[in-house]
Amino acid sequence: MTFSTEHFTSFDGTRLAVHTIGQGRTFILLHGLFSSSDMNWIKWGHAQRIADAGYKVVMLDFRVHGESDAPQDPAKYPQNVLVRDVVALIEHHGADDYDLGGFSLGARTSLHGVAQGVLQPARLVIGGMGTAGLGEWEKRSSFFKRVIDEFDDIKQGDPAYFSKQFLKSQGVDRTAARMLLETMPDMDLERLQTVTMPTLVVCGDEDHDNGSAQDLANLLPNATYVEVPGTHMSSVTKPEMGEAIANWLTEGE
């Protein structure tokens, strides 16, 4: 099955990478914070499973992540910049009719875009996200800001040590990442009532990093909740995550 990587220019001139596998209906897939399309979707076979179900899987590397640029100019980080990058991706691909999914930051970005009315997928997949990751994002964000701000002083035994090591392993530009974190506002959970398309909320059975995924599913007008094995970090490495997404997509056809 053909796999390709290309780069395109987003709304402000930032060069972003996009990876594509498969043929069929377009399914745009977004990765988590400080991760990449490769780390979340390609490495563990999820993109392949979804493509095998008859989809063209289009995976964006967010700015500051993966093979995309990490600009140092503060002007490149307006509020909700990642939503604007997804809009630019859709315009670049000319995708009028598409499905959309994301894990963690990718899920959060998807929900913000749909709630704002600028992203209009036919179906939506929300992975590794709960109510706190939306309505109390500033608290969650402060953890990652500390990882960046105190990077050299975080030692083994510190709750932030694992996140520091992951950030280091992914080669994330910390200056750019710090600016990116400032672009992500809390969401008024009442806005979830505007997310009316069929939605899959899928989350690890030990994943409580972003609050309750079940509560999030209950707040969405047309959601199905599926639990898969794992924590926030491990659930996305297990085959059940990709299988749950592929099965839900094909069942909805």
Burial class (CB in 10 A: 0-12, 13-18, 19+), 184: buried
The amino acid at 45 = G
pLDDT value, residue 95: 86
Token pair for residue 134? 């939306």
Contact call for residues 68 and 35 (beta carbons, < 8 A):
no
Burial class (CB in 10 A: 0-12, 13-18, 19+), 128: buried
Burial class (CB in 10 A: 0-12, 13-18, 19+), 132: middle
- Is 173 strand, coil or helix? coil
Burial class (CB in 10 A: 0-12, 13-18, 19+), 67: middle
Token pair for residue 238? 């297990």
Residue spans per domain, the chain: 3-132+189-251
Residue 230: left if φ>0, alpha if ψ -120 to 50, beta else—which one?
A: left
pLDDT value, residue 253: 61
pLDDT value, residue 102: 98
Residues of the chain with pLDDT under 70: 1, 252-253
CATH superfamily, domain 3-132+189-251, is Alpha/Beta hydrolase fold, catalytic domain (3.40.50.1820)
Token pair for residue 242? 């990709």
pTM value?
A: 0.96
Token pair for residue 37? 């399309």
Residue 66 CA to residue 17 CA, distance in Å, equals: 8
Residue 53 CA to residue 185 CA, distance in Å, equals: 35
State the DSSP H helix or E strand holding residue 164, giving kind and residue range, or none if neither: helix 161-169
pLDDT value, residue 252: 63
Contact call for residues 145 and 151 (beta carbons, < 8 A):
no
Q: Which residues contact 16 (CB under 8 A, 6 or more apart)?
A: 7, 8, 9, 10, 60, 61, 62, 63, 68, 69, 85, 88, 89
pLDDT value, residue 237: 97
pLDDT value, residue 157: 93
Residue 253 CA to residue 25 CA, distance in Å, equals: 11
pLDDT digits (tens, 9 = 90+) for 192-227: 999 999 999 999 999 999 999 999 999 999 999 999
| DSSP letter (8 states) at residue 74 | G
The residues pairing with 20 across neighbouring beta strands, listed in sequence order, are: 4, 58
Residue 72 CA to residue 124 CA, distance in Å, equals: 32
pLDDT value, residue 2: 83
